[in-house]
A and B are shown apart, each in its own frame.
Chain A
């Protein structure tokens, strides 16, 4: 594999496209692997990469039913943050944040990680109190957090509606180390780095069944034949229930639709990530100039990957009430993705009650920011057949023991994140 550097860039510029080789191979599947990861999105590829890098396990295949990064990795709004209240979540996302901070160097691939800050707006005294509590909890966990008053918010994002907003801005909770990353580059960077360590990435290979002997997995049935596996890691958020059903299991989640939107390209207008606290809306501006934004779930079980119009109207209404100056901006496109909405709003990373079967899912809307950390702890879980202390609280068993990670304290409803 070519090492990417200023020299390879100059050589590529001078010698034309022939100087560049494909970033990963397209191997035929082998008869058997030590580990098969289902799903070549960010999480699956990161898992394979860390299996090779941290644990020396390279006889690994990553199977993808479509094309690499074509699921939620390519459909999210690219926000990276670790501003969580509860320890179980905070430790995972903060570990992920630390990996993000060196990810481009680690992968030798520019994931365009930009720590432009994530600003959550508060619109009442009660919300300010809640943010103060969350900010303190974050700081106790070693995560950066700053509580801004109204003038502090105005200094950062002056063109928010401070005049006649239905829900006036009281202040905000800022995580300066939060920001965005280029989502496709994350998938491509992990794929290239995993491939260079000998991992087989097999696209257009849909898993149709999980074969077992007694209570132990022996491999997967796929659209390209049977592939033997000593261990199987599921990283197919959105479709986790379907994969689990192949092993005769049910999961505490529903699959829901989430839409995302991108506007025409504008000159620089929002240089951070802003989230609306009174409605549900989050926005940032991509390096191309487009506003990337999203809001609520469509709100009903769906695997359709396309949403309905009421939510389009709802999200845009919320956005314009916050940024009236964007009312003439044209929408370029919008799309839908399928989310695993877990029953407590937190992910599930751990062992399943079948020997050799592991689950990484239940990401609700929050999977992208966790990509490196989730892959790292999932690789540890698969390699050692037991969870890392970071993902111990994220086990499937928590729903039976009662130790759920309910960030919103709102009960068993599959709509949190």
Chain B
């Protein structure tokens, strides 16, 4: 683990979707990142804050979990979807931040009708979540063959890659716009504060204080 200052903590944040909501947390905790942080054009990936013991890094959502699992970052903010998919024993998720709320769902073509839910022992699914998808279907005795995509899953059924997708759904507007229909909810999703296991065990003083402050800020917002 590399710290920019001895004892400094690194918090990994996901680019994109939930940053607007998470910015409210930073304000509530009086964490003020350096000015570049909110500049979408910046090439910087690592940011100082007004708190000498805390740095921020901005990475892709799945990479937050990886950085925290390996201890490159001590804390992070990751969706339940990412945690289910990566499933590391070295990542703790002590605080539900109640932001980035949506659901992970199975969807299929709207024109295929309600009877399309599989009754065979095999199904093909396009998804960013192959592990979660296989586990979900395995629990029903169905073998899921997954096609891993990084985005634009909604194209897969229409273009013949796979009849089904597993993806995050919030309003359902994207599904509708692509002639898809939500068939089954797999899990409710929200973002969690995650902590590296080794850091949780060995750096109780500073780190546990920060976790407690996030917990208070969450309770205050609820």
Q: Do A and B bind each other?
A: no
